[in-house]
Amino acid sequence: MVTTKPEVGCHALTQTIAAERLEGWQPTAEQIASLTALLAGAVSFGEYLGPQLPTTAPPPRRRVFARRRPYFTPGTTLLRNNFGIQDAALLAQLEYVATAGRILQVHLHAHDTDLDIRSLHRHVFGDVYAWAGEPRIVELRKGDSMFGSCARIPRALEALQVEISRLVDEGTEIDDGTLSYRLARIYADYNQIHPFREGNGRTGTLLLHLLAHRAGRRLSLDDLTREEWISASRDSMPFRRDGRADPRPFVAVLRGRLQLRIRIGQVALDGRPHPGDQIVYAGRGQRLDLELIAGEGQTDQVDGHQLDA
């Protein structure tokens, strides 16, 4: 059984559910209990997902990109999936459950997860879609907003990865205001690129969590509503299709939702817990959790203190 520090596990679970809720998931108590069991290591990922799978065998998988409408089941607007599911509601629920489990896994290994956007998407959605991690090959729009042209996705992702690497290199030297803007800039550009046919939002919010972690912060989105998130996404879109997105709507969302992660007694922070470290999570008007990272054979301790703001 895997042992996870209570504070880390609680944050991973709440942020996983928050990311899925931003996409419309309304998890049942049973689904949350299953996620909790996965978190605790009581079940493997296969044991977690298995009960949700259809009992009938899926049809043989064919090459995804060999058809004019490569993403849909013929004659429908249902995304072709690895499980052969033909019902939209059933596919949506299975997608929520499968991706929630994968997102949870990433949160638990935030310090050493690859920040390559395509790899993140492949990990989160690979159980559901054969094309996970591959840039879309069709044009996309949502309402009046037209996302970036698919022909420009590879180059746009390369430029975005450069910005991600720069942010990681600067790490904990960035102040809160600058970090909020830089994260908003990255997400606004990513959202405008919209590199994948499905799953852009969950991959993007997961990237934000990982970048905040590398910068010595912790991001909390559990109080963010779906309406706020959709509004920020809409307001950030450029007037021209391949123009530059506006980060300001996301700055408003992210500011105040970042908590400082400090290793007491040390100036530098590499994002990894070490024996004897004391970690403080400090947010405005929130509870301050001081976590003593135990050495081998010892037990982690978590104490609560009220933060005066």
- Along the 309 residues of the chain, how does pLDDT read in single tens digits? 455 567 889 999 999 999 999 999 999 999 999 999 999 999 999 999 999 998 765 554 555 444 557 899 988 999 999 999 999 999 999 999 999 999 999 999 999 999 999 999 999 999 999 999 999 999 998 887 889 999 999 999 999 999 999 999 998 889 999 999 999 999 999 999 999 999 999 999 999 999 999 999 999 999 999 999 999 999 999 988 778 999 999 999 999 999 986 543 333 344 444 444 444 444 433 333 333 333 333 333 333 333 232
What is the pLDDT, as a whole number, of residue 4?
59
Which superfamily is assigned to 5-60+67-281 in CATH? Fido-like domain (1.10.3290.10)
Is this structure's pTM higher than 0.75? Answer: yes
Q: How far apart are CA 114 and CA 203, in angstroms?
A: 13
Decide the pairing of beta strands 287-292 and 278-282: antiparallel
Strand partners of residue 263: 279
Percentages of the chain per state (helix, strand, coil), in multiples of 5: 45, 10, 45
Identify the DSSP state of 169. Answer: H
Instruction: Give the CA-trace dihedral at 108, 292, 274, 104, to 10 degrees.
Output: 0
- Using alpha carbons, select from 212, 309, 301 the residue that is nearest to residue 261: 212
- Using alpha carbons, select from 234, 239, 230, 17 the residue that is nearest to residue 107: 17
Please, how many CA atoms are within 13 Å of residue 251, restricted to the half-sphere of its CB? Answer: 11
Handedness of CA 195, 196, 198, 203 (dihedral sign): negative
- Reported as type and span, the H/E element at residue 40 is helix 29-40
How far, in whole angstroms, is CA 286 from its chain's centroid?
23
Tokens found for residue 213: 């972690």
Q: Interior CA angle at 273 toward 272 and 279, to 5°?
A: 115
Identify the DSSP state of 220. Answer: -
On whether the CB atoms of residues 216 and 127 are closer than 8 A, the answer is no
- Using alpha carbons, select from 283, 279, 274 the residue that is nearest to residue 291: 279
